[in-house]
Amino acid sequence: MQNSVMLADTAETAGGREVPVIIAHRGNTRGPRKELENTLPYIQDAIAQGFDVEVDVWSIDGQLFFGHDEPEIPIEPSFLDQYAGNLWCHAKNVHALAYLLSRRDVLRSFSHDIDPHVITSDGRIWTYPGRELVKGAISVMPERSDHQTGIWNCYGICTDFATLYATYVEMRTRNRKKLVGHRTKKESDYINPLIVDKLLHHTLIDERRCLAVYTYYDDFAPTPAWSALNTYLAKELGNQNIYDVAGPISFVHWTFMQILGFEQWEEHSATFACHQSKYLAILREEMATLLPLTIKWSGLVAVSTGLVMLGYPSVDVNIWRQRIESRLEKEGLPFRRYQNDIVHSTILRLSADVSPEHLIAASDAWQDVFFGTLTVSKFQVGRSSWRMQPTECVTVDVVENNGR
């Protein structure tokens, strides 16, 4: 059984392309939870969400256990049998390996230490973090390594951040299908951007505003691929609005969340001005505990408005988003609820007509490339625009690392 947005082999495809199975490492779906890992309810919850789960299995004097560093949680063979289709059993000692292999017709298993590659009992290549991936292998903990190349051609991805990776699979699948089906839904063979976006290359000031918590790429360690990407975009899509670290038209940035969306600005900007101290107090208290964090940027996805770069943060930032929203709601303050779990930066926004195939080709060319790491030690809070031109943005507060 696979996550509802994915299928192995030929179960589901994104525009004719296979998508990987997402495997929750020790049951983790939203980051490491040491106190819960390998516990039965935690595993069952991950499976209920639609994920496969990697579990650590021991056998001591005929008794089976779950546990990473040592046998901790006694289990019955019936538990393995019940969830056999969802489990990837990591044999932690030779007796567990012998037991699991004796039941290879039912249970999927493997054993490894620091081996670069091992073969699972059903013939899959289980790949140690950071080691070279081949098509059809299983990528293990890609978030631990800068080497992201190849993960989307894998059979599976084993990760502590199963929800995030599954969200990206769904995002790729949904947008690809939308773009591939574009010509059957509209008369035009092209995606037509908003008129105001067509004017972004000119001197017209973009009047669209939101209230956002964001950061520029002030502390960004790019790989050579970042420069190559910018060269590619300038050559292939140079008539579009390209975001870059230094502009000049639009500045690449990461928006942690919009407090007031573009559609809410006119109605609620006065409310923010009136209750600014309340808003800022909540943001300072909650976000100071989030910093610092790092985000690894890897791969592009084509969407109907352009190209976005996907981020893999060192912590689940959605926990902080939800805390802030909960407190704003309790205070009765208007806000824009965050729509999804993704971490992304817009790298190109359409400002001229373009064919869907052109966007898809760009996404495919860079879908598996690691661009660099952003270290976030502060957030700016204030009025923001689509282009993030400093002249269009007004900062009302800066939230910085609290020293932890």
For 110, the token pair is: 């493997």
Of 111, 136, 170, which closes a domain?
Answer: 170
Q: Report the chain's mean pLDDT, rounded to a whole number.
A: 88
**Poorest-confidence range of 132-146, 149-163, 177-191, 243-257?**
177-191
Look at residue 2 and tell me if it is in a domain: no
Does residue 13 have a pLDDT over 70?
no
pLDDT grade, residue 105 (50/70/90)?
Answer: very high
Same domain, 198 and 255: yes
CATH number at residue 138: 3.20.20.190
Return the number of other C-beta atoms located less than 10 Å from residue 153's C-beta.
17
Of 170, 205, 226, which closes a domain?
Answer: 170
Averaged pLDDT, 282-306: 92
Same domain, 284 and 140: no
What pLDDT digit, counting tens, does each position of 187-207 carry? 456 666 665 566 665 556 677
**Poorest-confidence range of 172-186, 335-349, 371-385?**
172-186
Return the number of other C-beta atoms located less than 10 Å from residue 45's C-beta.
16
Same domain, 263 and 382: yes
pLDDT grade, residue 5 (50/70/90)?
Answer: very low
Does residue 14 have a pLDDT over 90?
no
Same domain, 344 and 222: yes
pLDDT grade, residue 144 (50/70/90)?
Answer: confident
Same domain, 228 and 320: yes
pLDDT grade, residue 1 (50/70/90)?
Answer: very low
Same domain, 153 and 197: no
What pLDDT digit, counting tens, does each position of 197-251 carry? 666 655 566 778 999 999 999 999 999 999 999 999 999 998 888 999 887 778 9
Look at residue 5 and tell me if it is in a domain: no
Look at residue 179 and tell me if it is in a domain: no
Q: Which of 47-56, 164-173, 241-250, 300-309 is the most confident on average? A: 47-56
Same domain, 339 and 374: yes
Our CA angle for 348, 353, 355, nearest 5°, is 85
How many distinct structural domains can be found in the chain? 2
For 319, the token pair is: 């926990």
pLDDT grade, residue 163 (50/70/90)?
Answer: very high
The C-alpha atoms of residue 86 and residue 88 are separated, in whole angstroms, by: 7
Does residue 36 have a pLDDT over 60?
yes
The C-alpha atoms of residue 107 and residue 89 are separated, in whole angstroms, by: 8
Of 143, 170, 197, which closes a domain?
Answer: 170
CATH number at residue 251: 3.90.1140.10
pLDDT number for residue 187: 46
Does residue 123 have a pLDDT over 60?
yes
Same domain, 18 and 156: yes
Q: Which of 4-18, 97-111, 137-151, 196-210 is the most confident on average? A: 97-111
pLDDT number for residue 395: 93
pLDDT grade, residue 4 (50/70/90)?
Answer: very low
pLDDT grade, residue 159 (50/70/90)?
Answer: very high
Does residue 16 have a pLDDT over 70?
no
Same domain, 244 and 127: no
Range of the domain at 208: 185-400
Please state whether the peptide bond connecting residue 356 to the residue before it is cis, i.e. omega within 30 degrees of 0. Answer: no
Look at residue 175 and tell me if it is in a domain: no
pLDDT number for residue 7: 35
The C-alpha atoms of residue 259 and residue 272 are separated, in whole angstroms, by: 9
Same domain, 201 and 147: no
Look at residue 207 and tell me if it is in a domain: yes
Averaged pLDDT, 160-178: 92
Same domain, 40 and 166: yes
The C-alpha atoms of residue 150 and residue 134 are separated, in whole angstroms, by: 7
Residue 284 has, within 13 A of its CA and on its CB side, a CA count of 9
Look at residue 3 and tell me if it is in a domain: no
Look at residue 138 and tell me if it is in a domain: yes
Look at residue 286 and tell me if it is in a domain: yes
E-state strands within 155-292:
156-159, 210-216, 220-222, 241-244, 250-251, 253-260
Same domain, 302 and 394: yes
pLDDT number for residue 241: 86
